[in-house]
Amino acid sequence: AYVITSPCIDVKDGACVDVCPVDCIYEGGRMFYIQPDECIDCGICESICPVAAIYPDDDLPAEEAPFLAANRAYFGAE
Ligand code: F3S
pLDDT of residue 78: 53
Which ligand 1 atom minimizes the distance to the CA of 32?
5
Q: What is the ipTM of this complex?
A: 0.93
CA 32 / ligand 1 centre spacing (Å): 7
Distance 78 CA to ligand 1 centre (A): 23
Fold of 2-74: Alpha-Beta Plaits (3.30.70)
Q: Which string of DSSP letters, residue by residue, matches 3-38? A: EE-GGGTTT---HHHHH-TT--EEEETTEEEE-TTT
15-26 per-position pLDDT tens digit:
999 999 999 999
User: How confident is the model at residue 29, as a pLDDT?
Assistant: 93
What pLDDT does 77 receive? 60
What is the end-to-end Cα distance of the chain in Å, rounded?
Answer: 14
Pocket around ligand 1 at a 6 A CB cut-off:
4, 8, 11-16, 32, 49, 51, 53-54
Domain boundaries, the chain: 2-74
Per-residue pLDDT of the chain (78 residues; tens, 9 = 90+): 999 999 999 999 999 999 999 999 999 999 999 999 999 999 999 999 999 999 999 999 999 999 999 999 999 965
The one-character DSSP state at 69 is H
